[in-house]
Chains A and B, each alone.
Chain A
């Protein structure tokens, strides 16, 4: 179908800032859209995305899942393999992320939040990203993965940089690749250290694990560990920041959460639906597939726009309203299917506890800047800085 008027360019700053009007046009007029800018198909309706997520035999992850893939990563991580290999890899890691195994980390999350709050106790305004979400996220992740303290600040900066793309050259720039290489080298050192002195931690177990009697390949161990660091830090931090933005912009919802912290659970789920930081991931077609009158060919890439599916009025009533009473079952904020986010339980737990602590110290806050500096990324969406003022 020719659509000369409409473009969907995930590299455009306008899409970083506000993808939702583009998504609406995609859903209504071009539900199976060839984006010449992204060089891939874009699926934007909830039902189509869910069908693709549940059909890995057609929509494969083995050629990468990030919109702009990092070099030599595809095929060696959880997000970039298909079953049955994926399931065996996930089986080695999942236990560390299961809800029932996370009790031990609750006190660490609260402590990390209180430490961060102490750092700006006397300031009238603060950058939620720099002063709070980054610090909490890095401490929680370092604890979860058993990483040695000390390098946390630089690890965080590199993890955030590696998920970005250059909006001008429309690909990963040298600084993004360098950040990826830096985190990879960091992971390599941690793995070597753990193999020399193995402990009970996840990386020790994973780096020595076998599947069906075969050791994992070095590439699998290294890139999976690198991805855990990247996803853990960038995705959790990005989501917390989006949640803060929503509560800053919706004072009534925030007040209710402050008065009754149990409501944070529902507010978090609605935030995952309303504007999840994980906006778009991709798959690669294994076979020719027809959808909405279009024929997509084997070998072509397909963008699954979770952020659009979450606003699909065919699935959610009044989708553009942030409504903490909605309880949005089946939202795509963590993706879905076998590749549904590994860190759902830790993300929900860390966000809830961090905001409980934040609200004890700062119950009222508002956004300072009308226009936010959005991260240039084709996959993720969150502001690089979020100035909040105590109200």
Chain B
């Protein structure tokens, strides 16, 4: 279990306890956090769960795989070095406190 802090583009924060093994996307969708659409349900094929990761825990994330990088090329909002797809971030205890900010739009 890790507390993930979701920050809407307008600045509204949502703290959610997400179980180990779930993805950051699942934690948001299941708890009704707005700003993550995840049209493909977490198959890394739609680019609508784009987030910017922050906080010291961000450095603990494994780098994106090729499929994630390919989808990041297709997201609607600006891509930054901190851009990730929330469906590809697996939650572990070590990520407790991870901050994910939503982009202006998912598409």
Interface residues of A (CB under 8 A from B): 50, 54-55, 83, 86-87, 90-91, 94-95, 97-100, 329-330, 336-342, 344-345
Contact = CB atoms under 8 A, between A and B. Distances in A.
Contacts of A338: 41-43
A98 B48 contact: yes
A91 B43 contact: yes
B92 interface: no
A90 B76 contact: no
Interface of B is mostly: loop
Contacts of B26: 54, 337
Contacts of B29: 330, 336
The range of chain B's interface size is: 20 to 34
A341 B38 CA distance: 11
Contact of A94 (B31, B46, B107): B46
Contacts of B45: 87, 90-91, 94-95
A330 B107 contact: no
A97 B43 contact: no
B22 A330 contact: no
Given A54-B22, A330-B30, A99 B107 contact: yes
Contacts of A90: 40-41, 43, 45
11 contacts: A98-B39, A98-B40, A98-B48, A100-B107, A329-B34, A330-B29, A330-B30, A336-B30, A338-B42, A342-B40, A345-B39
Given A98-B39, A98-B46, 11 more contacts: A55-B21, A87-B43, A87-B45, A90-B41, A95-B46, A98-B48, A99-B48, A100-B107, A329-B32, A337-B26, A345-B39
A99 B43 contact: no
Contacts of B30: 50, 54, 330, 336
Contact of A337 (B32, B41, B47, B107): B41
A345 B46 CA distance: 12
Interface in B40-71: 40-48, 67
Contacts of B32: 329-330
A227 B42 CA distance: 20
